[in-house]
Structure 1
Amino acid sequence: MASEVRQRAKAQSASPLGPLGIEAALEAKANPSIQPRPKIFDEFALTDRVAVVSGGNRGLGLEMAIALCEAGARAVYCFDLPEEPSEVFVASREYVSKLGNDSRLEYFAADVCDQQLLWKKVEEIGDKEQRLDICVAAAGILKPHIECLEYPADVFREVVEVNTTGVLFTAQAAGRQMARFGRGGSIILIASMSGSITNRDHAWVSYNSSKAAVLQMARSMACELGEKRIRVNSLSPGHIYTQMTAAYLDKQPHLLDKWSGMNPLGRLGRPDELRGVVTWLASDASTFCTGSDIIVSGGHHSW
């Protein structure tokens, strides 16, 4: 009976990379002809995979897209509102072309709030690449602080439309292709620590609400798509200095020290400090992780 259970459990969740860790050690013990080699980096490799990244023209989205390329993705398709990519995107695309791993960084213009356009564009990517494995929904906007009792309806709707509805439409577009090709996949919704805490000094009611909705969206989609081997997780950064937050901080320089002092590390985060976790979530190193929120906040929640 115990042997049967072990065999069923192994068959249920066998690694596509073959035996790993202890299992690999025991196999090598039983067969001295096997030459052990490190496999941990194989687990993180994204060789031949295809990804879409919203908000990928700059900032966190572009930073994550480059990381996926460095991990070996065949192509990473970034999209954003501008018809033409930014200079920093063009420089990043050139950088990726010189990595020597045949990875491609591509760009197309699209509004995350246009559901049918996104579905169509990502379907075209599926037709061209014949697979879709990774989605990073990173597009988002941030508005100046307005007292919650005075918050205008149009501003609230705009933030929620981009930060919540746009995330859903992006995840849908990618998930439809993942289901179509039957290989499973990883959908990563970029939320914020603001989705699970209240920022007392800058309580952006629309931003906090939209990001909280993304956390629940990831859990709900994970439950529904698990049987299709599509994993859905959220990634919640803390205070990161990007072009988006710079527009807010540069006008109120006193907030730099204040925000820096709100976590045990005593500083803001860098965009590149999210590279490792997004690559992990996209890769086979995290195949049992779904419905989770990964917080990268310098320990902000610890206080």
Structure 2
Amino acid sequence: MITKFRGVRSITSQLGARRCSRLPFSTTASTHTALGQLTGPLPPYGRVGVARALEVSPTAEPTPTIFANEFSLADHVALVSGANRGIGLEMALALVEAGARSVYCLDLPQTPGEEWMKVNEFAKKLKGTGGEGRLEYISGDVTDQEAMWNVGKTIGDREGRMDICIAAAGILKGDTSCLTYPGKQFKQVIDVNVNGVLFTAQAAGQQMQRFGNGGSIIMIASISGHGANKGHPWTSYNTSKSAVLQMARSMACELGPQRIRVNTISPAYINTSMTGQFLATRPEVEEMWVEQHPLGRIGRPDELRGAAVWLASDASSFCTGSDFFVSGGYQAW
């Protein structure tokens, strides 16, 4: 479907006898109440893991919950920017496969490309996802704050919820010396990679706040935000991705009380279709990139799917303000 718009839980382990004796409450029903206040409310499906095993009836025939509940995105609604192709589209499809009922794919072109159209048809045919598996395309500019806010509100009005945001839109300009880097080009990179990420997070976060169900905001950072890229003068890109890391940490601290989690994923070199076209003309660069990864290769877009679904789901309910390397060990040297 194509749509155009204008413009936690953690389980407290059993406390030792010495520590329990110091608790300012008795070890009765009030204990469970106090511990519940400390660890937050249970998800709708209740206890999982060891806590569930200890409470289940001896005559019960339990079934696994790890994928049916913790990792499930059933009935969830998501907004993914930069999702016409590449990493954004890969993550949008992963959310559908995990059960999300609708994933709104926002990108700059007025109409989606052939890659998106094929993926959309594939998503419609998926069986057993636990949701409707609906992808929707939105034409929008992430650097237009008002338009992005309107996109978020329109999705909220239509769906009645907002659960997930993946800010994946970004640009990388060619090699340019830092001493002669054009200010106009630098501003363009910052507008998309920093302001655009903020405006996307705001669009979704406002709706998460509106409905009061919490949510997960995932920003795509980069190994380039942790250090310079050997052999590449990418001052603007590296600066922008470093800003994304700090933005996520700051927002995580501010939004934590509302159960809105904010995290980042830092990929290393990923072989998207755009990257492949670049490397086809620069084979020496491909060799250099491969050597910089302990795994001896660069990554595939699908290798980001697991991290994205984990961060979007209850499986990561005690995780916020963190960055996750999906880098083939790039940063481990």
TM-score, length basis structure 2: 0.88
In structure 1, the residue matched to 2:326 is: 296
1:34 is aligned to: 60
1:264 pairs with 272, 291, 294, which one? Answer: 294
Deviation at 1:249, TM superposition (A): 2.2
User: Deviation of residue 2 (structure 1)?
Assistant: 6.2
Q: How does 1:39-58 map to 2 (within 5 A)?
A: 39-41=65-67, 42-58=69-85
Aligned partner of residue 142 in structure 1, secondary structure:
coil
CA distance in 1, matches of 2:332, 2:298: 15
Partners of 2:238 and 2:55 in 1: CA distance: 50
1:275 pairs with 2:301: no
Amino acid at match of 1:82: P
1:127 aligns with 2:154: no
* Structure 1 portions without partners, runs of 5+: none
Question: Please, which moves more after superposition, 45-54 or 246-255?
Answer: 246-255
- The TM-score with structure 1 as length reference comes to 0.96
Q: Partner amino acid for 1:130?
A: G
| Aligned residues with identical type, % of pairs | 56
Task: Report what 2:176 is aligned to.
Answer: 146
1:6: how far off? 5.3
Residue equivalent to 1:226: 256
| 1:213 alignment partner, one of 226, 236, 243 | 243
Match for 1:92 among 109, 119, 124? 119
Deviation at 1:5, TM superposition (A): 5.4
> Per-residue deviation at 1:15?
3.0
Q: How does 1:112-191 map to 2 (within 5 A)?
A: 112-191=142-221
Q: CA RMSD in A?
A: 1.3
Question: How big is the shift at 1:246?
Answer: 3.0
CA drift at 1:180: 0.4
Residue 259 of structure 1: CA displacement? 0.2
Aligned to 1:65: 92
SS of 2:179's equivalent?
Answer: helix
Q: CA deviation at 1:200?
A: 1.9
Choose the corresponding residue for 1:77, options 93, 104, 127.
104
Q: Any idea what the Cα deviations from partners look like across 1:228-262, whole Å, max 9, x if unmatched?
A: 11000011101101133234323311111110110
List structure 1 runs of 4+ shifted beyond 6 angstroms.
none
Matched pairs, number = 301
Q: 2: distance between equivalents of 1:147 and 1:2?
A: 67
CA contact (8 A) 1:141 1:244 kept: no
Which whole-Å CA distance do the structure 2 matches of 1:163 and 1:77 have between them?
19
Unaligned runs of 5+ in 2: 1-24
